């Protein structure tokens, strides 16, 4: 993979296959900063991951300080976090992890928009120590896996130990408990996040039952800059959470996912695979173009959108007729 910006291959974003090398050209505004980190971020975004190459780059000069600077400057950027992960994974050097040191809240601006006031930063470490002790107790219990998943995921959300990523970690915890319980075959993951998304308003309403109770018992104010300050001690509000309603709701979601959502997704994957291989026989496109075409067709009710056709300007009218014939043959069965 080789990448260029402006001038060398032209100014239009395009890709050219030359033997076994894919050459990419991007407009001038996509050019990375002339720093090691700038080029690393560009590579992660546009060229994929080459662990062997990255490991060698991570041994160079002051790269650790550059990466730390990028993370401190843009800690919520997905590309900063990916760079952070690969650096620690490939070098074994960990940058100091920690819980949040700021008071945050969930919700919109103004006191009326606050949906949850998580624990104060000074209580997070102690609360998380107890949370991990609870993890150990639950792992040795005979409580059903779906209930354990609900207890751990919901309590983590309320503790909100990090400034960002708490929701993603809580959804991971659901998968982790289900996987370790043995009720799923190795390699099988239930699309629980999709089930939650399908019932998103129920999800918020269920969490809000406890959130409102916590907020009602918390004295707080928000300044003009949007920063929240909590008066008094509130850690006791998070030690004895009644998560019954949430666990019942999550059990319903898991059942719906197993009985309905997962079978539908499997059927869709089967159709997508058949469409991919049939189109491959009649068009001979690259794997990347074929995957994109299949996605567009399935997202557009079995048709290749005229608006999206601009991405396939190299195809002829005869090609589009063949594509339409394939779609009718595969999707109408």
Contact present, 17 and 25 (Cβ < 8 Å): no
Give the tokens for residue 88: 């620690």
pLDDT for 276: 92
Across-strand partners of 3?
24
Instruction: Supply the pTM of this predicted model.
Output: 0.67
Distance CA(294)–CA(306), nearest Å, equals: 14
pLDDT confidence of residue 308: 66
* pLDDT of 64: 87
pLDDT by 10s per residue, the chain, length 333: 788 887 554 444 456 666 677 788 888 888 888 999 999 999 998 888 889 989 999 988 889 889 988 888 887 788 998 999 999 999 988 776 678 888 988 887 666 778 899 999 999 999 999 999 999 999 999 999 999 999 999 999 999 999 888 999 999 999 999 999 988 888 888 899 999 999 989 999 999 999 999 999 999 988 887 889 999 999 999 999 999 999 999 999 999 999 999 999 899 999 999 999 999 988 878 888 899 889 988 888 888 876 667 777 788 888 888 888 898 888 876
What distance in Å separates the CA atoms of residue 75 and residue 68, rounded to the nearest whole number?
Answer: 10
Residue 10: what pLDDT? 46
Instruction: Answer for the pair 150, 185: CB distance below 8 angstroms, yes or no.
Output: no
As to burial, measured by CB atoms within 10 angstroms (0-12 exposed, 13-18 middle, 19+ buried), residue 156 is buried
Helix ranges restricted to H, the chain: 36-46, 51-57, 63-73, 78-91, 121-139, 145-159, 166-181, 192-198, 200-216, 244-256, 262-283, 287-299, 317-331
pLDDT of residue 98: 79
Q: In the prediction, which pLDDT does 213 show?
A: 92
| Tokens matching residue 180 | 């370790």
Looking at residue 11, its pLDDT comes to 40
Q: Are 55 and 91 in contact (CB under 8 A)?
A: yes
Q: Which residue has the tokens 């730390």?
A: 68
Other C-beta atoms closer than 10 Å to the C-beta of 204 total 11
The 10 Å Cβ neighbour count of residue 247 is 21
Q: Which long-range contacts (CB under 8 A, 24 or more apart) does 167-173 make?
A: 171/196, 173/149
Amino acid 232: pLDDT: 92
Q: What is the pLDDT of residue 131?
A: 97
pLDDT of residue 306: 67
pLDDT at 159: 96
Cβ atoms 231, 220 nearer than 8 A: yes
pLDDT of residue 47: 86
């Amino acid at each position: 993979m080789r990448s260029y910006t402006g001038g060398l291959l032209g100014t239009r974003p395009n890709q050219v296959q030359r033997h076994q090398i894919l050459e990419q050209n991007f407009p001038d505004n996509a050019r990375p900063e002339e720093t090691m980190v700038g080029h690393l971020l560009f590579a992660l975004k546009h060229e994929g991951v080459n662990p062997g190459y990255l490991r060698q780059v991570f041994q160079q000069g002051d790269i650790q300080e550059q990466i730390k600077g990028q993370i401190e400057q843009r800690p919520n950027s997905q590309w900063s976090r990916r760079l952070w992960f690969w650096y620690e994974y490939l070098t074994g050097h960990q940058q100091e992890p920690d819980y949040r040191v700021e008071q945050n809240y969930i919700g919109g601006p103004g006191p009326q928009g606050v949906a949850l006031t998580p624990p104060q930063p000074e209580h997070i470490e102690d609360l998380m120590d107890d949370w991990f002790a609870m993890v150990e107790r639950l792992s040795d219990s005979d409580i059903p896996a779906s209930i354990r998943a609900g207890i751990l995921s919901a309590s983590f959300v309320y503790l909100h130990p990090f400034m960002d990523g708490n929701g993603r970690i809580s959804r991971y915890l659901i998968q982790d408990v289900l996987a370790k319980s043995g009720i799923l075959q190795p390699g099988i993951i239930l699309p629980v996040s999709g089930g939650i998304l399908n019932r998103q308003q129920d999800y918020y309403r269920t969490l809000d039952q406890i959130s409102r109770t916590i907020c009602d018992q918390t004295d707080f104010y928000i300044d003009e800059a949007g920063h929240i300050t909590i008066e008094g001690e509130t850690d006791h509000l998070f030690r004895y959470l009644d998560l019954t309603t949430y666990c019942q709701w999550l059990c319903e979601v898991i059942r719906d996912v197993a009985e309905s959502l997962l079978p539908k997704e499997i059927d869709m994957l089967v159709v997508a695979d058949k469409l991919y291989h049939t189109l491959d026989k009649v068009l001979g496109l690259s794997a990347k173009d074929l995957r994109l075409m299949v996605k567009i067709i399935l997202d557009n009710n079995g048709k290749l959108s005229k608006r999206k056709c601009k991405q396939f300007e190299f195809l002829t009218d005869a090609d589009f007729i063949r594509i339409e014939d394939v779609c009718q043959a595969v999707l109408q069965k």
